[in-house]
Amino acid sequence: MKNMIRLSYVAVAIAAMIASCKPKEKIPTGEKEVVVPCSGPDYFTNNKVFRANSIGESMDQVTSKKKALTNARNELAQSIQTTVKTVTDNYTNSREMNRKEELEQRFEQLNREVVDQTLQGVRTICEKLVQTKEGNYKTYVAIELSADDLVKQYNERMSKDDRLKIDYDYEKFKKTFDDEMAKKAQGN
């Protein structure tokens, strides 16, 4: 009987191992997989951080890094602006205020200011420098920005704006923001 139980445990363990093994995707004949440094699922935006990555190439090593960082920051800024625009639309719609249009305009202006200011808090999470066959430098970079830091920046700015302060509900805004970040994380 004990052997039967042990055998059952072994069978369950083997079945679990087999189920967890994914078959490797086959690459079509004549094609070769390209692995890009500082990219892939580990570098996707999730519900805690915004992330972006990019590549910069130049004959000059410093310029290649500057290009990569500039491109990544632009991508990050666009992602933040899109997310905050969605949050703002959802937030103002849920608040049902008489001054909705004015509030949306104030949020848009605030959005631009906060994104410009917040990008100073960006953190580099991956950086790889390679030299091409031609002798150029190529920099791969991935950056991130904390979603909580972004919400804190918004809260500070909204709390200082007398017109926004009247209609602003931090908890409601934070919940709307967290919901949108959760959607982004699921989409990756």
Q: Residue 79 and residue 19: Cα distance in Å, rounded?
A: 36
Residues 6+ apart with CB under 8 A from 185: 45, 46, 47
3-7, 16-20, 22-26: range with highest mean pLDDT: 22-26
105-136 pLDDT per residue, tens: 666 666 666 666 667 778 999 999 999 999 99
Contact (CB, 8 A) for 182 and 47: yes
User: What are the structural domain ranges in the chain?
Assistant: 33-187
